Amino acid sequence: MTRTFHVLANEHAGSTERDQVAVAVARLAERGPTTLTWTASPDEFDREIAELGDDQQLVVAGGDGSIHLALGCLDRRGDTERPVGIIPLGTGNDFARNHRLPLAPDEAAEVVLHGRPTPVDVIELRSGERRELIANNLHVGLGVRSAHRAKPMKKLLARLAYPVATAIEGGAGTCRPHRITVDGELVWDEPLLAALFLLGGSMGGGIHVIDTDTRSLDVVAIGDVTGRERFGLVRAALRSELADHPAARHWSAASVVVVEAGGGVEVDADGELVEHGPRIELRHVRAGWTVLTPA
């Protein structure tokens, strides 16, 4: 039976990204009927997924935020076993890097055509009654402030926006008391500069944080350090040596609880900034959804 392809892309994409989408769509159209829908909001994205037929191959053309959105839509509909094709378009593309998906649009289209459905792990986040799935990584503290600052820089600096923002925020960022429990054991009860919760080694647009095979949830926490040490941390991150810095501590976990004293926990989840209550619970979920990866 001829496969049909339904590509979802962000209506707000720039001209370069639109050109990349056109390349991928043209390659898919050579092999079967292909439709392209530009969505302007999460609700439109969700409706498009809801109306997919069983014979349609879902293809997400976008960055980590679009991948996060697709995962959430599929999860709410109980359809996480549906294989998803991905055409990476974002400035960071950390999910693609962590799962060895090609960044070139024509090569990514080849994976959609010839790749294999692969169960992929996720992070389940719970905060009170709220629940969401995270495809790649989660930041607390400095990573969130850097993401806020990086947003207006992306058009000019592309994937360098996050490292530059981190360098700026790193020198002046404040620390707040946090408690972190890893697999039931309290491992952190002091001011926290930053905490990273990772399903892959890449974050922030290709900064390599840690060597991992993604079979565990990796936690990296950094406490209050002097101004000189903060710039050293930023330099270590840019050199992909952050986890080896003396100020960083690392654990591998199945579950994590993070509590911020005196306020809510704002997180950067797959590039999406979300405010939660004072306590969040994270759980490593194996085979949380299905993605087409290189055969």
CATH number of 103's domain: 3.40.50.10330
- Tell me: pLDDT of 55 over 60: yes
pLDDT higher at 156 or 224: 224
Claim to verify: residue 71 and residue 174 sit in the same structural domain: no
Instruction: Give pLDDT tens digits for 66-116.
Output: 999 999 999 999 999 999 999 999 778 999 999 999 999 999 999 999 999
- Tell me: pLDDT of 245 over 90: no
Claim to verify: residue 272 and residue 220 sit in the same structural domain: yes
Mean pLDDT value of segment 4-11: 96
**Minimum mean pLDDT range among 36-45, 84-93, 129-138, 225-234:** 225-234
Cα separation of 39 and 278, whole Å? 33
- Tell me: pLDDT of 282 over 60: yes
Q: Which residues of 114-152 are buried (b: 16+ CB within 10 A; e: fewer)?
A: ebeeeebbbbbbebeeeebbbbbbbbbbbbbbbbebbee
Claim to verify: residue 104 and residue 144 sit in the same structural domain: no
Note down the domain range covering 96: 4-121
Q: Bridge partners of 123?
A: 134, 284
- Tell me: pLDDT of 21 over 60: yes
pLDDT in the model for residue 172 = 60
pLDDT in the model for residue 212 = 65
pLDDT in the model for residue 100 = 93
pLDDT in the model for residue 153 = 73
Claim to verify: residue 219 and residue 280 sit in the same structural domain: yes
292 part of a folded domain: no
Domain CATH code at residue 268: 2.60.200.40
Look over the chain and give the mean of its residue pLDDT values, rounded to a whole number. Answer: 88
Which of residues 101, 121, 141 is at a domain's end? Answer: 121
Claim to verify: residue 170 and residue 259 sit in the same structural domain: yes
Phi/psi region, residue 202 (left: phi>0; alpha: psi -120 to 50; beta: rest), is beta
Of 89-98, 130-139, 157-166, the range with the highest mean pLDDT is 130-139
Percent of the chain scoring above 70 in pLDDT: 87
- Which stretches within the chain are classed as H helix? 15-29, 42-50, 64-76, 94-98, 105-114, 142-150, 154-157, 161-170, 227-238
Residue 241 banded pLDDT, cuts 50, 70, 90: confident
Mean pLDDT value of segment 148-169: 67
Claim to verify: residue 252 and residue 136 sit in the same structural domain: yes
293 part of a folded domain: no
Number of domains the chain contains = 2
Claim to verify: residue 135 and residue 177 sit in the same structural domain: yes
